[in-house]
Amino acid sequence: MKKKIFNELRSVAVLGLFNGFVPLMNNPMWFIAFTLGPVSYVFLLYLIGREDAVIFAFIGGLIMSMAASGYGLIADIIWYRFNLKLQDMFIATPRSPWAYVLGLALSAYIWALPSLSLFILIGYILNILRSIYVLGLIIILTIILWVSVSLFVFLLSTFLKTEKHVWPLATVLSLGLSVFPPVYYPATLVPDNYRFIALLPPTASSALMIEYFMGIIKIDLIYIYFSVANLIIQTIIIVYIFKRRNIYSQ
């Protein structure tokens, strides 16, 4: 039993390094390209002098970095399935489907780590991050967001039968769920009647919790409770559906 678990974890680590660490080391330009978008918002607002907006751009950049790496994973999943046949090769091994899923999901987190580290450094330089408590909250929320987004992307990929929709879909998901919801701006700007709907994307719920516990917004606690429940329930639902749907049969 212990040997089986060790082999599963080793497969997860190898696949994560293969799709995450190795590409970044072979071509560091990927890191620049991946980080440039989220950092540019902070840079522009800092130059303009809107200090209040810089904080929200910082939080939005953190969330977008994690979410974008997860949503971008759909391109790798489809590429490996249809072109390299990596999924077919994995089927022939004694490893479980979860090793394949978590391995590619781990690569998404590896892709996001340099960008997240840069944002944390920027946060300390600009005196935005003032406590270890907030830093710990950010780490926990990015992990929850990583799990939720990665499993959602894997689930979504099982419905795709061709590559032609992958790139636009990844862009729409990344920007549509990281820019339009209250991620780069406070949820308090959204009218009360639509606020719960606006907080449905996990990116928005994560951003609201960081903003609240950093003390930069004041909002009714019902929205904080809703955000916590939203993240937990969405993750549980996605895991349940994912377990019911065999990715190897797709």
pLDDT tens digits for range 146-205 = 888 888 888 888 888 777 778 788 778 877 888 889 998 999 999 999 999 999 999 999
- Calpha distance 161→205 (Å, rounded): 31
pLDDT category of residue 250 using cuts at 50, 70 and 90: low
Q: What is the mean pLDDT of residues 77-94?
A: 83
| Structure tokens, 242 | 């994912």
Angle between helix 97-125 and 73-82 (nearest 10): 150
- Calpha distance 44→185 (Å, rounded): 15
Its pTM stands at 0.87
Q: What is the pLDDT of residue 230?
A: 94
Question: Tell me, what DSSP letter sits at residue 93?
Answer: S
**Residue 64 near residue 183, CB atoms below 8 Å:** yes
